[in-house]
Amino acid sequence: MTGSIRLALAAAALALLAACGTYQSIDKNRRADVGDNMTVQVVGDWAAVSSYAVPLNGASARWTADGLSVNQLLFFDGIQPQTPILKTGKENVDDDLPLYRAGMTESGVMELVESTLAKVTQAPRIRATGLRPETFLDRRGFGFEVEMVTVEQLEVRGLVIGAMIGERLYMVLYQAPRLHFFDLHAPAVKRIANSARLDLES
């Protein structure tokens, strides 16, 4: 299947789900709320996933460009200490999830994301690499990549950009198949992350 056909099918699926109320198109070239305190500039064509149709499971907002079966962009607007960064809604899984802790190192956060995704997705292979400094929310933050092979043997890449402010963790997490889709939207995701702003007085 060619890339253009894949894109056409994904776009058709997204339009169908939008009609069912799962997704809501986001106006381009404006700022959007992705939590109580965080906003970002919309870059590219994205749809917000309804929290009524698909639980956020710990994220403050969830976007997709081509449908959740293809890619997703998660926003985390201030994860509190002693809580997991994601949940599944399954008690036997959630009770065993690692917790974010105040004072964590950046490498500790990278390990936290890796171990959390391993438990949530049950991926047989997952590795977080490439920890580096990034500017996020106008502060010194961090970035890294995640490589994963799902139970369906699909190769998925992830991009994480975030910062710890006070005792809370702010972060974006982008995931998409390694072939074609990750590189297709990664530049827009980086611009969205770079545009993130925080208003702690609202």
Q: For residues 41 and 163, what is the distance between their CA atoms, to the nearest angstrom? A: 18
**Do 37 and 166 touch, CB atoms closer than 8 A?**
no
Q: For residues 11 and 110, what is the distance between their CA atoms, to the nearest angstrom? A: 32
Neighbours of 165 (CB within 10 A): 16
Q: What is the layout of strands, in order, in the sheet containing 31-33? A: 31-33, 38-41, 197-198
Neighbours of 25 (CB within 10 A): 12
- Whole-number percent of the chain with pLDDT over 70: 87
Enumerate domains of the chain plus CATH numbers: 3-198 (3.40.1000.10)
58-83 per-position pLDDT tens digit: 899 999 999 888 999 999 999 999 99
Q: For residues 145 and 161, what is the distance between their CA atoms, to the nearest angstrom? A: 9
Q: For residues 110 and 125, what is the distance between their CA atoms, to the nearest angstrom? A: 16
Neighbours of 176 (CB within 10 A): 24
Which residues are CB-contacts of 89 (< 8 A; sequence separation ≥ 6)?
Answer: 55, 57
Q: Which two tokens stand for residue 67?
A: 């449908």
| pLDDT reading at 102 higher than 70 | yes
Which of 41-55, 82-96, 100-114 bottoms out in mean pLDDT, i.e. has the lowest?
A: 41-55
3-50 per-position pLDDT tens digit: 544 444 444 444 444 444 588 899 987 899 999 999 999 999 999 987
pLDDT, residue 133, reads 98
12-22 per-position pLDDT tens digit: 444 444 444 58
Q: Please name the amino acid found at residue 26.
A: I
108-165 per-position pLDDT tens digit: 999 999 999 999 999 999 999 999 999 999 999 999 999 999 999 999 999 999 999 9
